[in-house]
Amino acid sequence: MAFSALRHRLLWRLRAPADSGEIRRTERWLATARVALAISALVTIWMDPSEIRYSLWAYGLLGFYIVHGVVIMLLLRFRQQSTFAFRLLVHCADIVWPALISAFAASARNPFFLFFVYVMAAAAYRWGLMETMATAVAALALLWAESMAFQLGFLGWADRLLARHGLPALHVNVTDFEPKALFMRSIYLVVLGLLLGYLAGQQKQLRAEKSVIARTLGLARVEAGMTGTLQDILGDVLAMYGARQAVIASLESASHHVFVGEVRALSGTRTAFHWLEAAPPDREIYLFNCPADTCYLRRGRRGQETYLALDQDGTRVRSLDTGCVSALAQRYEFRSVLIASFVFGQEWAGRIFLLDPNLSGEIEEELHFLQELIRRVGPAVYNVYLLRRLRRRAGALERARFARELHDGAVQSLIAVEMQVDVLRRRSASNPAVVGEELGRIQGLLREEVLKLRELMQQMKSLDVDSKKLLALLRDTVERFQRETGITARFISELDELDMPQQVCRELARIVQEGLVNVRKHSGAKQALVRLGANEGMWNVIIEDNGSGFPFTGRVSQAELDALGKGPVVIKERVRLIAGELTIESNPGRGARLEINIPQKREAAYGQ
């Protein structure tokens, strides 16, 4: 069980590996702490030299360690990355050094005992529980090896060798390395290593869980749709739990229709998510009544079943009728299954089934995490569903508007033209002189309807425009307007290059198209001008003409237009989408001027 828990935490750590920047920051903090601790120990010894019994060898070791710490700080400052081999080498030196200098003052009250705490804290920061315990064991092995060497007379031999060469004696405190004292110090280090490693492992697991949830949340994308979103999320959960197959079943509350989909894992990859044909009896197979919100069920070889279930509050369900999954077991072959319920708003409810998952740790802990994952990811998936539904409704409304435009405009005009042609055909025999005049008028009507249809088709086209294409698109739009309408039109750009969000580019192109349509339909103008510029952190677009103008005089802001219920509705809505400001200057009988100002530094307002 203990090994399983350790393996579980290791797997969680691998699911959220630290990036190189975080590793470098950790190593820099550890290097700073190493030097600060060494200097503090030096100051303490200077204040009370009896701690190391006036040993010059202890001073030398401490000085060497300070130099060692400064060199590591410099290397971390100038190296682009910290490799695993470099960190392991530094960590080994951190283990060996306190074991050596403790020979001069091994009491738990001496300042060098903190270096054992430091090296275990470093292992916890760098890795986790297993590595911290390994560090404690390695430090204890060195201490006991020193104790054995001292018992075998190593100190006498070393002092004689140093005296022969005229060097000072070691002055080692042998009494502190007696088995009884060393045994208690070993207990301190083991308990301390266990606590530090456990806390670090818990912190890393929490960080890994947050990373997994954030990664899964990122898979909920409106562009992918519900099917694509479910494929990505279920595939990620399938790989996360090592399951053979994932099945999702949901019930729509309005229609009581059951939807079932699945994704399988084959040879290390996963198949595409696909929907299954669902029949009314499937509701009892997948959406059976069960008091458990999340459940793990394992079927033994002799038909025995073991389970662990949690309710919505995460409390264990003591009594559970496992016969509720018998119908599911008849449809799918599995030895174990992980079941989790979900609710999307008030419209959808269902369950996710992971068949034959490979759980690496405690089952209850895995169930709690799966519960938390679904609670966090569920609203994001529901938002995708709502946004897709809104888009479909918006598309339906847009198609209805185009149908209305065609019915009230082009279709009615063509019917009128047909009637006029029929009348003209009847009158042509008795009054041929009228034919030419009537044909000219009919030609004008047809030309007008052709322009309307072209404008409608232009509005229906999807615009793939960005800041590199916007200037060319606006210039082409104005030139085409002049060719088709006969109205003199010019486009002037005061900018050679643009750095504009794509949504702003799309809306500006639509605004110019709508503005020119309004000029043709309502103004009776002979000239039109479109100008694009920038001033004081704003992009400026101006559309002006010399036509009849608006039914008011003066300069009116967008807020005043909204209050009066005047102005072009479509243009006002598009300007509002990009957090812009519309101002209209009207001079009835002489023309109108539309000025749109868009802030350049509000990318968040554009939905980017």
> Residue 592: its pLDDT value, please?
92
Tokens of 530: 């479109």
Q: Which helix (H) or strand (E) holds 197?
A: helix 179-217
In whole angstroms, give the CA distance from residue 259 to residue 238.
Answer: 19
Contact 294, 371 (CB under 8 A): yes
Show which of 180, 215, 250 is a domain's final residue. 215
Same domain flag for 179 and 248: no
Same domain flag for 324 and 344: yes
In a domain, 483, yes or no: yes
In a domain, 445, yes or no: no
Residues 6+ apart with CB under 8 A from 420: 438, 441, 442
Same domain flag for 493 and 569: yes
Give me the mean pLDDT over the 348-355 stretch.
89
In a domain, 97, yes or no: yes
Same domain flag for 202 and 283: no
Q: How many CA atoms lie within 13 A of 334 on its CB side?
A: 27
Contact 322, 297 (CB under 8 A): yes
Q: How far is CA 357 from the centre of its chain?
A: 26
Same domain flag for 161 and 268: no
Q: Which helix (H) or strand (E) holds 554?
A: strand 554-557
In a domain, 444, yes or no: no
Phi and psi at residue 582, to the nearest 5°: -105, 135
Show the domain range for 78: 2-215
In a domain, 82, yes or no: yes
Same domain flag for 207 and 272: no
**pLDDT tens sequence across 373-385:** 888 888 888 888 8
Q: Where are the beta strands (DSSP E) in 328-367?
A: 336-344, 348-355
In a domain, 194, yes or no: yes
Q: Which of 15, 12, 367, 366 is nearest to 201 (CA)?
A: 12
Where residue 524 falls (left for φ over 0; alpha for ψ -120 to 50; beta otherwise) is left
In whole angstroms, give the CA distance from residue 154 to residue 149.
Answer: 5
In whole angstroms, give the CA distance from residue 18 to residue 54.
Answer: 44
Same domain flag for 207 and 234: no
> 352: helix, coil or strand?
strand
Band the pLDDT of 144: cuts 50, 70, 90: confident
Same domain flag for 372 and 333: yes
Residue pointed to by tokens 């006498």 = 156
In a domain, 427, yes or no: no
Same domain flag for 507 and 526: yes
Q: Where are the beta strands (DSSP E) in 206-347?
A: 245-252, 258-266, 269-270, 274-276, 294-299, 305-310, 336-344
Same domain flag for 265 and 193: no
In whole angstroms, give the CA distance from residue 357 to residue 244.
Answer: 7
- Do you know the residue count of the chain? 608
First and final C-alpha spacing in the chain? 49
The domain total for the chain is 3
Does the pLDDT at position 53 exceed 60?
no
- Type of residue at 83: T
Residue scoring higher pLDDT (445 or 554): 554
In a domain, 353, yes or no: yes
Q: What is the CATH number of the domain that holds 300?
A: 3.30.450.40
Show which of 189, 215, 241 is a domain's final residue. 215
> Residue 378: its pLDDT value, please?
85
pTM: 0.55
Show which of 385, 415, 441 is a domain's final residue. 385
Same domain flag for 48 and 110: yes
Same domain flag for 232 and 367: yes
Q: What is the CATH number of the domain that holds 566?
A: 3.30.565.10
Does the pLDDT at position 461 exceed 60?
no
In whole angstroms, give the CA distance from residue 30 to residue 112.
Answer: 17
Does the pLDDT at position 408 exceed 90?
no
